[in-house]
Amino acid sequence: MKIKRAKQYKKLMHHFRHLGFREPYQVLLDSQILEDAYRTKIDLVSRLEGVLQGKVKPMVTQCDMRRLYSSKNSQLIELAKKFERRRCGHHELDEPLSSLECISSVVDPKENQTNKHRLIVASQDLRVRARMRTIAGCPLIYINKSVMIMEPMNTATEEQREQEERNKFRLGLKGQRNPAPPKRKRDNEDSADDGDNIEGQATEDARPQKKKKRKGPKEPNPLSIKKPKKETPSEGNTKPRSADAKPSHSAAVESNDATAEVEGSGHRKRKRKHKPKGDGEGDSAANVDGEAVVA
């Protein structure tokens, strides 16, 4: 029987969590349930956590606390002081209000039959529980023969839950029948080539579009290219060209006319001397190889 009751409480709290109840659950205690728990030696906090299956935060109104002070039970007063004090605004009155009037003003201050602060009421007063059953989304707990019991969901709460389920179902059907059209963006650069966008059609996104980068070979960075070295050849001293440097036009012409050859240690160079026109046979015979040594 205990396992069956625990499953029922778990199912009830599952429905109440859909209505906005969160841990730690705020449990509003009246003076009568505190007196019964003290008389039967029941640990209220552990029993409430077992019924609600979660952390709880017990609370006592100012009117019920004043009523406990009038009983002059020191141990019961010390027990009630451990719980949080719930302000009801009736502390300025000469006499505390009854549990029915005080708890009703805390749970439903505007009297619109709604549990605004998501409070759970634990009371032994039959009138209090009868009044709380008319408020939607208000769980009720009481003690019966040393057993803590949670009442099933009242009619107002069931109607509220069914109304919320119908609203969700209608919203789901409405979203399926009228799906939102996909957003279409207009690209100014590719509109002429593709022809996908129609002139005069307004787009939902009015933000400026980013320009698309064209794909293709990229030119090298001019700062990373090695510049060719310029050669200044002279008759007396000519520097050898580097292997990487490309020959200039003047160097190519000069190479066609004369070739430099290093002789010995490299200090003396021979240069080809062309045969001048009109010279005799002696000159041609003297220069058999057609080369002259230039100092």
Closest by CA position to 91, among listed 73, 111, 109, 65: 65
pLDDT band at 292 (very low <50, low <70, confident <90, very high): very low
Containing 27, the helix (H) or strand (E) segment is strand 25-29
Token pair of 156, please? 């107002």
Residue 188, pLDDT > 80, answer no
For residue range 25-58, list pLDDT tens digits in order.
Answer: 999 999 999 999 999 999 999 999 999 999 999 9
Order of all β-strands in the sheet with 268-272? 261-263, 268-272, 291-294
Per-residue pLDDT tens digits for 207-238:
556 667 767 777 888 888 888 887 766 544 55
Structure tokens at 37: 């728990």
pTM score of the predicted model: 0.55
- pLDDT value at 257 more than 60: no
List the structure tokens of 142.
């009481």
* Top-ranked range on mean pLDDT: pick from 97-106, 178-187, 281-290: 97-106
CB within 8 A of 110, min separation 6: which ones?
116
- Give the residue-averaged pLDDT of 167-175: 70
Return the CATH number of 1-157, one of 3.90.1410.10, 3.40.50.1000, 3.40.50.1820, 3.40.50.1010.
3.40.50.1010
Q: How far apart are CA 5 and CA 25, in angstroms?
A: 19
Residue 179: pLDDT band by 50, 70, 90 thresholds?
Answer: low
How do residues 89-148 score in pLDDT, each as one tens digit? Answer: 887 788 888 999 999 999 998 888 888 899 999 999 999 999 999 998 899 999 998 899
Residue 205 above 60 pLDDT?
no
> What span, in angstroms and rounded, lies between the C-alpha atoms of 151 and 210?
63
What pLDDT was estimated at residue 94?
A: 82
More confident site: 58 or 283: 58
pLDDT (average), residues 257-279: 57
Q: 95-115 b/e with 16+ CB inside 10 Å = b?
A: ebbbbbebbbbbbbeeeeeeb
List all residues 6 or more positions away from 107 whose beta carbon is below 8 Å from its beta carbon: 28, 115, 116, 117, 119, 121, 132, 135, 138
The predicted structure's pLDDT at residue 57: 94
Residue 288 pLDDT class (50, 70, 90 cuts): very low
- Check whether 278 has a pLDDT greater than 80: no
Helix (H, G, I), strand (E, B) or coil at 104: helix
Beta bridge partners of 83: none
